[in-house]
Chains A and B, each alone.
Chain A
C-alpha cells in the first residue's frame, strides 16, 4: 500500500530531517510511527502527502510508493486522488468556516448526493458536531475539532489514512476517545492507517505494528506486542516511571552513536 524506501529529506538545503527512513504499511494494516519531538515524524507525513515543497523541503534520496505507483514527487492533488489522505499536525481545519462548510470543502470530489449522505453519516457519528454545525469551527472545542477532522478525512474517501498527532493538546480521556474512534472507523471502512504519535501509550492500543523514529532514523521496528515488551521502547517512549534521569541520559547517548 505505502512503502517508503531509504528516504532522505532536507529542509532549505541544509537541515536533514529524515536520514534514510524505510517503512511499510500493508493493506488494511494499522501502523504507528512513534518518536520524540523533532524526530522527523511530521517530515515523513509531509513527504508522503506531497506537501514537502510547501515547507521548503526536498527529497534528497529514496522513494515513496503508493498503491504500487511511484509517488515520490507526485503533487498533493494526485496523491489524494490515489486514495491517501493525511491529517496534518495542528488541527488543520478551516476555522472561519462552519463544520458544514468544512465537510463541504473536504468532500469536494463527491457528487452532491454523495456529499449530502456523507455529511449525514458524519453527523450521525458525531452528534455534537451536528448541534454546532453552523458555528465557526474555530470556536469548537479541541475534541470536537478532532472529530470534525476525522469526518472531513472520511469525506475524501481515503484508502490509506495518515493522522499526525491527533492527541496533541487533548485531555487524556479525549485521547482515548479519539483513538477508539480511529480504530472503529478503520475497521468499519477497511482503511489502512498510519498513526503518527508522541503519545505512545495511546497509539499502541490500536495498531498492529510500530516504528520508532529518532533523529531522522528508524530505531525500532516490530509488532505492537514486541514494542510493549521491548525494554528501550517501554522505558523511554512509554515513560516508565522507575527510570531515573541518569539512565535516561545514558540511553540517549547510546542511541546517538548508532
Chain B
C-alpha cells in the first residue's frame, strides 16, 4: 500500500490542475450555456502571462500580477466574442470560441516564440516527507491553491448573493432581466473568473514543467473531466478532476485515451454525468 501512495499524491497533484481548469469551463457553461473550446488557450495565455511577469518579478508575485490581467482577458473575450453572438444559434458561439482558440494559438506563438521556455524563478519549496513518503513541492502547491479556491468558489456559488444571481441568470436570463438584474455585468465576471482559474492552472503547470505550446494538450483533457462531472455541475468538475488525476496515476500508459474511456463508461450508467442535475418538469 505504501508503494502506491506516491502515485496517489502525484495523481492528486495533477488532478488539482484538471479541477481548476474544469471549474473554469463548467462555470461558463453553467452560466451562459456556451461551450468554451478556447479554454485550453486560456490556460496557455495565462501560462505565458505568468512567464512574462516572472522575468521581472519573483514567481509568487508574478502569479499575483498575472491573475487580475487574466480576469480582464476573460471579460474582454466575453465582450468581444460572446456578447455579440448572444441570442444567435448556440453553434455560432461555439464556432466563435473555436476560432478564438486558433487565433490565440497563433498569437501566442507569434508573441513568445514556438520554443519551450522555463520560468526563471520557482515557487518556494514546500515539499516534505511524512512516514517514508515524499510529498513534492509541486503537489503541495497545486493542492494548496486548487482545493481552497475550488471549495471557496463552490461556497460562493451556493451561498453568496453573487452566486445566487449567477445561478438565477443561468436558469432564466429573461426573468433575471425583468427583475433588473444586470446580467451582462455578472456574466462578464463569470468569464473573468473562468480565465483566472485557467491562468492559475497554467501558471502552476508552467512552474513545474515550463511553458510551451504543448500546454494546449493539457487543456484538451478538460472536456472529459467536465463531462464526467456533469457539464452543469460545478462541484462535479472539482471532484472529477481529482478522480481522473488519480486514475491516470494508477494506470500509466493510457493517459491519452483513459479519460475518454472513463467518460464513455460513466455516461453509459449516468447520462447526466456523475453529478449532473436532473431537470424539473411540471406538466
Contact = CB atoms under 8 A, between A and B. Distances in A.
B168 A105 contact: yes
A51 B164 contact: no
A104 B161 contact: yes
24 contacts: A51-B177, A54-B174, A77-B182, A80-B179, A88-B174, A92-B174, A92-B178, A94-B172, A94-B175, A95-B171, A96-B171, A97-B167, A97-B171, A101-B167, A101-B168, A104-B164, A105-B164, A105-B165, A105-B176, A106-B179, A108-B165, A108-B179, A108-B180, A108-B181
Nearest to B186: A108
A77 B182 CA distance: 6
Interface in B70-110: 87
Given A54-B177, A80-B179, A106-B179, A139 B172 contact: no
Interface string B240-283: 00000000000000000000000000000000000001001010
A86 B178 contact: yes
A152 interface: yes
A108 B171 contact: no
A156 B167 contact: no
A51 B174 contact: yes
Contacts of B173: 54
Contacts, number: 78
Closest 4 CB pairs of A and B: A80-B180, A138-B280, A92-B175, A105-B168
A108 to B, nearest CB: 6
Contacts of A106: 179
A88 B171 contact: no
A156 B180 contact: yes
Interface string B178-192: 111110000000000
A76 interface: yes
Contacts of B167: 94, 96-97, 101
A79 B165 CA distance: 19
A158 B274 CA distance: 42
Interface string A73-103: 0001101110001111000111111000110
B280 A95 contact: yes
A136 interface: yes
A49 interface: yes
A109 interface: yes
Contacts of B178: 49, 51, 76, 80, 85-88, 92
Interface of A is mostly: mixed
Contacts of B174: 51, 54, 88, 92
B168 A79 contact: no
A76 B180 contact: yes
Contacts of A95: 171, 280
A249 B176 CA distance: 41
Nearest to A50: B177
A87 B181 CA distance: 14
Interface in B97-128: none
A49 to B, nearest CB: 6
Interface residues of A, number: 33
A86 B173 CA distance: 14
A139 B281 CA distance: 9
B171 A94 contact: yes
A105 B181 contact: yes
Contacts of A97: 164, 167-168, 171
A96 B277 contact: yes
A92 B280 contact: no
Nearest to B173: A54
Interface string A127-151: 0000000001011000000000000
Contacts of B165: 105, 108
Interface in B142-201: 161, 164-165, 167-168, 171-182
Contacts of A80: 178-180
Contacts of A136: 280
Contact of A81 (B171, B172, B175, B180): B180
A85 B174 CA distance: 13
Nearest to A88: B178
Contacts of A77: 177, 180-182
Nearest to A140: B282
A92 B172 contact: yes
B175 A93 contact: yes
A5 B99 CA distance: 45
A152 B179 contact: yes
Contacts of A79: 180
B134 to A, nearest CB: 45
A34 to B, nearest CB: 22
Nearest to B160: A104
A57 to B, nearest CB: 12
Contacts of A139: 280
Contacts of A54: 87, 173-174, 177
Interface string A37-51: 000000000000111
B161 A108 contact: yes
A136 B167 CA distance: 13
